[in-house]
Amino acid sequence: MESAGDWEKKLVMNELMQAHELTKQLRNHLSPSSPGELLIQKILSSFNKALSMLKSSDSEGEPQRTGPASGTDSPHSVSESPSSENSNRAFLDPECRDGSKKRKMQPKWSEQVRVSSGPSLEGPPDDGNSWIKYGLKDILGAKYPRAYYRCTHSNVQGCAAKKQVQRSEEDPSIFQVMYQGHHTCMQATNVIRGASPASPELKEQQQPQQGVLLNFTTGLKVRTEDLDTQGVNSSSFFPHASTQGANVGGCIFSSSSLDNPFMSTFSSPFMSPATSGSNYLSSVSSCHMNSYGGEGSTSMPTLVTSDINEIISAVPSGLNSSLVDFEFSLDQFDASAFLSSV
């Protein structure tokens, strides 16, 4: 539902942000005292300006994508159910699945998972729950199909948790994960233990079960090796995305509660066991915050969308924390700007 112009603009923004990120990564490779640092600062600053210019013109007439899980967020996910996702599914109806396929009206929030995957890691990192894939659908306008998962215990315990995973078109290393419903099964807590503190069900368990939409924005990137974007064909789309985080070695994300006001204001429940998240963040990506915050100008309409109760950024402590990189997608950008400007 965006005009072509918006769409393109977002693409541009996305590209800029990627460049921005890469620059920051490059910066991380340099010593702080390196002469190149200054150049990088300038480059980053230019990116910021460009971004903020785009952004300000962007937010003029437009609500903001972070919206009610409208999915989307990142420009690439245009495809995100253009129509239905915007509707407020403000009511819970856990049981009304009497055979008929009602559209779900359950709390829903999205997470953006970036995985630069090697052959062994083709799906988004597991969130600590076991999921059963029950469908795969080609989505109109999207290059990659969307995969549908439900909690393994949906039968046994009637667990209503579901998730949808879709690979980003622009950057196949990004997975858009949309969670729906609450885990009512035991396993969520058992299995995860502290392994994935930021896993949604932990959060939602803290949520009052009012049918509000949760918009959970997570950026995480687990870098293993070179990205093999093309090789992944749609049918083998994350083969083992389910099951207890086997591929992530149980160390998936840590809540990046950061030490910013926003977080402490909004996401106290999310501050789960996570341990190293903030450390990681402050050491690796403090520059994000600074640079985005610096421009300050960006008013942060993003978060204002109607139903958002919680927004959180989580960072993986991935397979190799040394290799983990934190990247911002568009809305992460928004969020971070907001965060740092609050």
Partner DNA sequence: CGCATTTGACCGAA
Partner DNA sequence: TTCGGTCAAATGCG
For DNA, the binding residues (CB under 7 A) are 79, 81-85, 87, 97, 100-104, 130-141, 146-148, 150, 152, 162, 164, 235-237, 239-243
Compare residues 89 and 288 and give the one whose CB is closer to DNA.
Answer: 89
Compare residues 44 and 188 and give the one whose CB is closer to DNA.
Answer: 188
Compare residues 55 and 183 and give the one whose CB is closer to DNA.
Answer: 183
- Tell me the closest approach of the beta carbon of residue 151 to DNA, in angstroms: 10
Sign of CA dihedral 215, 240, 225, 15: negative
Compare residues 47 and 179 and give the one whose CB is closer to DNA.
Answer: 179
- Tell me the closest approach of the beta carbon of residue 231 to DNA, in angstroms: 15
- Tell me the closest approach of the beta carbon of residue 90 to DNA, in angstroms: 12
**Which residues fall within 8 angstroms of residue 43, CB to CB, at 6 or more apart?**
23
Place of tokens 């159910």: 81
Compare residues 81 and 291 and give the one whose CB is closer to DNA.
Answer: 81
Cβ pair 70, 216 in contact under 8 A: no
- Tell me the closest approach of the beta carbon of residue 104 to DNA, in angstroms: 5
Compare residues 193 and 240 and give the one whose CB is closer to DNA.
Answer: 240
Place of tokens 């055979």: 99
Residue 283 to residue 66: CA distance in whole angstroms = 27
**Which residues fall within 8 angstroms of residue 165, CB to CB, at 6 or more apart?**
123, 124, 146, 147, 149, 175, 176, 177, 178, 238, 241
- Tell me the closest approach of the beta carbon of residue 252 to DNA, in angstroms: 17
- Tell me the closest approach of the beta carbon of residue 20 to DNA, in angstroms: 30
Compare residues 55 and 167 and give the one whose CB is closer to DNA.
Answer: 167
**Which residues fall within 8 angstroms of residue 107, CB to CB, at 6 or more apart?**
92, 180, 181, 182, 204, 207, 209, 211, 212, 213, 214
Residue 285 to residue 25: CA distance in whole angstroms = 9
Give, in degrees to the nearest 5, the angle at Cα 133 between 128 and 135. Answer: 145
Compare residues 131 and 328 and give the one whose CB is closer to DNA.
Answer: 131
- Tell me the closest approach of the beta carbon of residue 241 to DNA, in angstroms: 6
- Tell me the closest approach of the beta carbon of residue 108 to DNA, in angstroms: 9
Structure tokens at 68: 């009610």
Grouping H, G, I as helix, E, B as strand and the rest as coil, residue 325 is: strand
Place of tokens 């419903």: 181
Structure tokens at 296: 């300050």
- Tell me the closest approach of the beta carbon of residue 15 to DNA, in angstroms: 24
Nearest to 109 by CA among 217, 16, 2: 217
Compare residues 108 and 221 and give the one whose CB is closer to DNA.
Answer: 108
135 - beta bridge partners?
A: 148
Cβ pair 146, 133 in contact under 8 A: no
Residue 48 to residue 292: CA distance in whole angstroms = 7
**Which residues fall within 8 angstroms of residue 155, CB to CB, at 6 or more apart?**
none
